[in-house]
Amino acid sequence: MESLPRSLSQYDPIFLLWCDEPFGITSIDEVSKALLRSADPEDDIGALLREADWRCHLVAGVALVVSELRTKPKLVEALWGAVDAGSWVSPQLGVCLAIIDADFSLRAKARIESGCPVVVRPSTTSAEVAARRHVEQGPDGSVERSAKTLAALLYLCSLRPECEPWLIPCRADRSTQRLLALDSHHGDKIAEVWRTKFNRALSAFQSS
């Protein structure tokens, strides 16, 4: 990640996957401090979200949650863009969006009803895609990534009373069921577990 803003890319985002562990909480604190050191934190976060690498997306999502930039429409849209592109950490990004986006329910509903199709981002060359996709985006194809995102968003919407009227019939829809059957990673469980860990880590971070 040498080409990325050093203020946010110098920490190993792997630690953020286990964010309720001591090293994970420390990483959240480091992300927050990196934002304070940045000459242009908004641009730094935007640069991370333009990358294909899920590691960049996770750092950017956490950075938005812990910063005042969380209300910036451009950055919220960019975080949704990473989800739409099929980021390997779409469940975790969904958790971040549920925290920062006042319109989360409406935006998640639109994606759920359309089957969370993966929007392929332009790449430099087809060779670059072949060389980097597995490392940056995970081994799954677009359908599997859609299924993972769909499961995660359905879970996150199930926590919101305003979603109940449309959520039940949507879950019962045959096309939704067929796509969910392809979610071998259980995106709903990933979102549930990470949400619990992240909320615990945020509480520790905010009280420190």
- The alpha-carbon radius of gyration of the chain (Å, integer) is 17
Residue recorded with tokens 């929007």? 119
Read off the pLDDT of residues 135-187 as tens digits, 9 standing for 90 and up: 455 667 899 999 999 999 999 999 999 999 999 999 999 999 999 999 999 99
pLDDT tens-place string over residues 80-114: 999 999 999 999 999 999 999 999 999 999 999 99
Share of the chain above pLDDT 90, in %: 65
Query: What pLDDT shows up at residue 134?
Result: 42
Please, which residues have CB within 8 angstroms of residue 26's CB and are 6 or more apart in sequence? 15
| DSSP-assigned letters across all residues of 120-186 | PPP-S-HHHHHHHHHHHH-S--HHHHHHHHHHHHHHHHHT-GGGHHHHHHHHH-HHHHHHHTT-TT-
Question: What are the phi and psi torsion angles at 60 (to 5°)?
Answer: -65, -40
Give pLDDT, residue 100.
Answer: 97
* pLDDT (0 to 100) of residue 125: 41
Nearest in space to 111 (alpha carbons), one of 85, 75, 138, 140: 85
pLDDT tier at 23, thresholds 50, 70, 90: low
Cβ-count burial 45-57 (b if 16+ within 10 Å, e if not): bbbbbebbbbbbb
- Whole-prediction pTM value? 0.88
